[in-house]
Structure 1
Amino acid sequence: MSAVTNPATVVECLRVGAGFFQGDRNWIVEQFATLNARLAAFHADATELEVSVKDREARGQKVTLECWIAGRQKIVTTSSEEDLRAALHDVRDDLRRRLNDAKTRQEPRHNKHVREIGQPGPDQVADADADLERVDAETA
């Protein structure tokens, strides 16, 4: 497996949208710091995050976190928690879960060997078939 040369981080990829001020950005980055480990699998230049809040600090406020990663569907998480910090943690945790689920769906299931070394190519399959035919001929 090759390492990502310029891994995505919250600091590099986060934009603050409606309802937040640029001065809120550093505080939000701190709240989202645990996403860095999950985002590191993606290139920074192919990853974007945007957080926004509607009706900030009012009953019924809604925090939205959107994530765009090149070659994947956009992920949108929302929270209606009344406490802003709790709402940010809610959308952060939901995004982390969804990124983990997306990664799990792309990996081969129930086969650690295949996950670690990859699936055999056509040449290896043909060699294995030839070996089986040789064994069949010898035992007949």
Structure 2
Amino acid sequence: MSRSATSAPATVEDCLRVGAGFSQGDRAWIAEQFATLDSHLAAFHVDATELEILVKDRGARGQKVTLECWLPGRPKIVTTSVEEDLHTAVNEVRDELRRRLNDTKTRQEPRRNRHLREHTINDVISPELTPPLEEAAVAAEAGGGEGAVRGA
């Protein structure tokens, strides 16, 4: 998490826009349904995070709810639902976004490399590993190039 995200973390209330098919009156109940996403969005700065929900053919057979999420440094996430009940469709796109945010976070963490998560690269690479390469280079120069280390 960056320092700026901690000073102004993203929340659904701050980042949600209602698009085509929804009114500003719908925004309140949608934001309430999406409040569970706040913990996932908090890692990002409010100014660089956007959520937009839209519905096509609202109330008609074949309506489609789309939720788009823009996060800094990540590809846009788009979730959709074709549920006939609007509330069910809204909850479905919310749940799918939550899953995708979890997947994105998991994908960016090292797998089976606990030491990479707990230490910086300087902690993992010990200084003892570098002197043999330097000694080999000095020996190669002194020996006129014989026994030189290739690629060093």
The TM-score normalised by the length of structure 1 is 0.85
Show the counterpart of 1:81: 83
The TM-score normalised by the length of structure 2 is 0.78
Pick closer, same or farther for the CA change 1:19–1:113 going to 2, 3 Å: same
| Superposition deviation, residue 129 in structure 1 | 1.1
2:35 to 33, 36, 40: 33
Structure 1 runs of 4+ aligned residues shifted over 6 Å read: none
- Give CA deviations for 1:91-126 in whole Å, capped at 9, x if unaligned: 0011111111111111111122321334x22x8625
CA distance 1:124–1:85, change in 2 (3 Å):
closer
Q: Which structure is larger by alpha-carbon Rg, 1 or 2?
A: 2
User: Secondary structure at 1:32's aligned position in 2?
Assistant: helix
Residues of 2 paired with 1:82 and 1:124: CA distance?
Answer: 54
| CA drift at 1:83 | 0.8
Check whether the contact 2:109–2:117 (CA below 8 A) recurs between aligned residues: yes
Inter-partner Cα distance in structure 1 for 2:130 and 2:106 = 34
Distance 1:9 1:100, change over 3 A: same
What residue is the counterpart of 2:67 in the other structure? 65
CA contact (8 A) 2:53 2:66 kept: yes
State the alpha-carbon separation in 2 of the partners of residues 114 and 13 from structure 1: 33
Which consecutive residues of structure 1, in runs of 5 or more, have no partner in the other structure?
A: 134-140
Aligned length: 131
Change (3 A) 1:21 1:2: closer
Identity of aligned residues (%): 66
Q: Which amino acid aligns with 2:106?
A: T
CA distance in 2, matches of 1:60, 1:22: 23
The match for 2:48 among 43, 46, 49 is 46
What's 2:57 paired with?
Answer: 55
CA RMSD of aligned residues (A): 2.1
